[in-house]
Amino acid sequence: MSGEKVNLTELEPQQILQFKAQINKELENLHNSFSALKVAQMKYKECHSDVKKVNANPKQDIMVPLTASLYVPGKIKDSDNFLIDVGTGYYVEKSCGEALEFFQGRLDKLKEDSSKLTSLIKEKVQVVQRVDQVLRQKLAEQQKVLEKQGKSKK
């Protein structure tokens, strides 16, 4: 939505329905964004947890993925340093503490974004409820007008 205020009581039922469809589309997009944030949160939580596990068990055997369905056995060479994918094909080497800090920072940012998105979704749901209320009132008014017209013709 462009942020402009709309007086729903001045709109015709058809316009209200169009407005409601627009808000519902926005809500759908917000829900999709929220789902994507949750997936990212799970990914970073797993990374954070894995850094702790690797650092706690330095001699642990691992399975190294070569493809999505092909693995080879391996051993962790250095459990104190990690290569972290920071996006767009770039990797940065970080110590265990720095890696934990990095992933925690990402988790904190995603939590903040999720909170903002949750508030926005709640606002949009309230708008949809208000739109439904006004639409019911408009339709009830139209029904009364039609009933009066029907009685006056008799």
Q: What is the CATH number of the domain that holds 126?
A: 1.10.287.370
Please name which of 115, 89, 107, 113 lies closest in space to residue 43, comparing C-alpha atoms.
107
What domain range includes position 100?
A: 11-142
Q: Is the pLDDT of residue 126 over 80?
A: yes
Buried b (16+ CB within 10 A) or exposed e, 114-133: beebeeebeebeebbeebee
- Note whether residue 16 is domain-resident: yes
Mean pLDDT of the residues in the chain: 92
Q: Is the pLDDT of residue 125 over 90?
A: yes
pLDDT, average across residues 51-59 = 91
**145 pLDDT tier (thresholds 50, 70, 90):** confident
Q: How many domains does the chain have?
A: 1
Residue that wins the pLDDT comparison between 99 and 143: 99
Please name which of 121, 110, 126, 128 lies closest in space to residue 31, comparing C-alpha atoms.
121
- Note whether residue 153 is domain-resident: no
Q: Is the pLDDT of residue 1 over 50?
A: no
**Of 7-11, 34-38, 68-72, 137-141, minimum mean pLDDT range:** 7-11
- Note whether residue 150 is domain-resident: no
**39 pLDDT tier (thresholds 50, 70, 90):** very high
Is the pTM of the predicted complex or chain greater than 0.85?
Answer: no
Q: Is the pLDDT of residue 2 over 80?
A: no
- Note whether residue 3 is domain-resident: no
The pLDDT tens digits of the residues spanning 71-107 come to 999 999 899 999 999 999 999 999 999 999 999 999 9
- Note whether residue 147 is domain-resident: no
- Note whether residue 152 is domain-resident: no
Measured between its terminal Cα atoms, the distance across the chain in Å is 47
